[in-house]
Amino acid sequence: MNNIVYLLVQLLVILLVAPFVNGLIKKVKALSQKRKGASVFQMYFDLYKLVKKKTVVSNVSSWIFHVTPYIVFATAMAAALLVPVSTKILPPQIPGDFIMVVSILALGRFFLMIAALDTASTFGGMGSSREAMISALIEPSILISMFTVALISRSTSLPQIMETVQKVGIPLAHPVYIMVGLALLIIILAETCRIPVDDPATHLELTMVHEAMILEYSGRHLALLEYGAAVKQLVFMTLFVNILIPQDQLIGVIGLGALILSLLIYLLKVILLALVMGIIEVNTVKLKLFSIPNLAALSFILAFLGVLQFLILGGKHV
C-alpha cells in the first residue's frame, strides 16, 4: 500500500510540476527583457500540440532513432522514482541509490547521443560530441558531491540521506553543505542545458548542445524528449531542495495532512530554486565551449572541498 501511494505521489508530482518549472524560468527571463512572456503553463500546451502532430522520421534512420525518445523518457521517470519529493511518504525500501540515479540518466543520455548520430545530420554529431564532453566532466562532481552527503548520513540511499538532513536544522549554514550546494547548482545548470553551459532558447545550430541532438525529432517523439528533459531537470532540482533545504521536520505529524503540507513546501522550494536559476541565466552569458571544463572543475573542486571538510570537521552533528 505504502509503495503504491509513494509511486503515485512521485509520478503525479514530478509529471505535473516539471513543465511548470520550465515556464517559470522562461517567465523570469521574459520579465528581465521587459516582455510579458508566455504563460508559465505554456509548456503543457506545447506538449499537447506536439503529441497531436505527425511524427516525421528520416528514412535513413534506424530503430535507435525510434526507441530513443521512449528510453529517454523512461529513464528520466525511473530516476524520478528514486528521488523522493517528500519524506512524509517513504516506502519501506527503495531499490536503488543516487549512484543508480546517475547511471540511469547516463543510459538515457547514451541513447540520445547515438540517436543524434543515427540520422547523420550536420548538427547531431556536433551535439553528441559536446554532450559527451560535458557529461564526462560533470558526472564526477555529481558523484563526489553526493558522496559527501552520503558519508554524513552513512548511506547512499536517497531517502536515508533526506531523513538524515532533516535533523541538521539549517544545512546551508554549514560549510560542508554550502560547498555541496554550490557544486550541485553548477551541476543543475550543466545537466539541464542552461546558460552558461548551453542556451535552450538559441536558434543557432552551431552553438547548440542538447538542442542539436534533438533537432531531427518531431511530433510525439519530440514531446517525449522535451518532457524527459523537463523531468530530468526537476529530478536534479528535487535533489537540491530536499537535501539542502529540508523543512519536513517542521511538520511533526504523519498522515495525509502532513503529506500535502510537505508537498506544498516542496513546491515552494522548487519555485524558489527556479527563480534563482532564472536569475542566474539572465545575469550570465554562454561560456566559450572550451571554458566549460573550467566550470566543471570548479564544481568538482567545491564538491571535493565538501568531502575534505567532512573529513576534517566530521559530519555527525552537522
Partner 1 sequence: MTSNLKGNLESKFALKVFSGKEFSETAFPLATNQVNINSQTTLASDKDNSQHVSFSDHDDKFWQEQDNVYYLEAPLAKVKEICCYIQELGCPLVLMFANDERNFQAGYAVYYVFAVREEGMLVVIKTKADPESMEIPSISNHLHAASGYEREIQDLFGLVPIGHPDAKRLVFHGNWPQGVYPLRKDFAVGQKPDFAQEKIRFQEVVGEGVYEIPVGPVHAGIIEPGHFRFSVAGEPIINLEAQLYYVHKGIEKLAEGQSLEKCLFIAERISGDETFANSLAYCQAIEKIAGTKVPARAAYTRVLFAELERLTSHLGDLGGICLDAGYGFANFQFQMMRGWAYSVADELCGMRFLRSVNKLGGVRKDFVSGKEAKLIELLLNIRSELEDTVNIVKSNSMFIDRVENTGILEPKIAVDLNAVGPGGRASGIRYDVRKAFPYAAYPNLNFKVPEHNNGDINCRMNTKIEESFEAIDLMIQAIEGMPVGKVCEPIAEVKPYRFAFGLTEAPRGENIHWVMTGENNTLYRYKIRTPSFCNWPALCHAVKGNIVPDFPLINKSFNLSYAGNDL
Q: Which residues bind partner 1 (CB under 8 A)?
A: 29, 32-35, 122, 126, 129, 195-196, 199, 201-207, 281-291
Least distance in angstroms from the C-beta of 32 to partner 1:
5
Within 13 A of 204's CA, how many CA atoms are on the CB side?
A: 5
Rounded Cα gap, residues 232 and 81, in angstroms: 11
* Structure-block grid coordinates of residue 41: 503553463
> What single string gives the DSSP state of each residue in 117-156?
HHTT-HHHHHHHHHHHHHHHHHHHHHHHHHHHHHHHHT--
Least distance in angstroms from the C-beta of 123 to partner 1:
8
Closest CA to 85 of 230, 193, 247, 227: 247
Question: Measured from the CB atom, is 38 or 151 closer to partner 1?
Answer: 38
Question: Measured from the CB atom, is 105 or 126 closer to partner 1?
Answer: 126
Contacts by 115-118, CB closer than 8 A, 24 or more apart: 115/64, 115/65, 115/68, 115/213, 116/212, 116/213, 116/214, 116/216, 118/61, 118/62, 118/64, 118/65
Least distance in angstroms from the C-beta of 295 to partner 1:
11
CA dist 13 to 54, 55, 97, 181, 227, Å? Answer: 29, 28, 20, 23, 14
Question: Measured from the CB atom, is 27 or 269 closer to partner 1?
Answer: 27
Least distance in angstroms from the C-beta of 207 to partner 1:
4
Least distance in angstroms from the C-beta of 294 to partner 1:
10
Least distance in angstroms from the C-beta of 202 to partner 1:
7
* Structure-block grid coordinates of residue 228: 524527459
Report whether 19 contacts 230 (CB < 8 A).
yes
Question: Measured from the CB atom, is 103 or 291 closer to partner 1?
Answer: 291
The values of phi and psi at residue 241, to 5°, are -70, -35
Question: Measured from the CB atom, is 67 or 201 closer to partner 1?
Answer: 201
* Structure-block grid coordinates of residue 23: 515556464
Question: Measured from the CB atom, is 239 or 280 closer to partner 1?
Answer: 280
CA dist 175 to 90, 93, 104, 216, Å? Answer: 28, 31, 30, 45
Question: Measured from the CB atom, is 26 or 269 closer to partner 1?
Answer: 26
Least distance in angstroms from the C-beta of 132 to partner 1:
12
Question: Measured from the CB atom, is 61 or 129 closer to partner 1?
Answer: 129
Least distance in angstroms from the C-beta of 238 to partner 1:
26
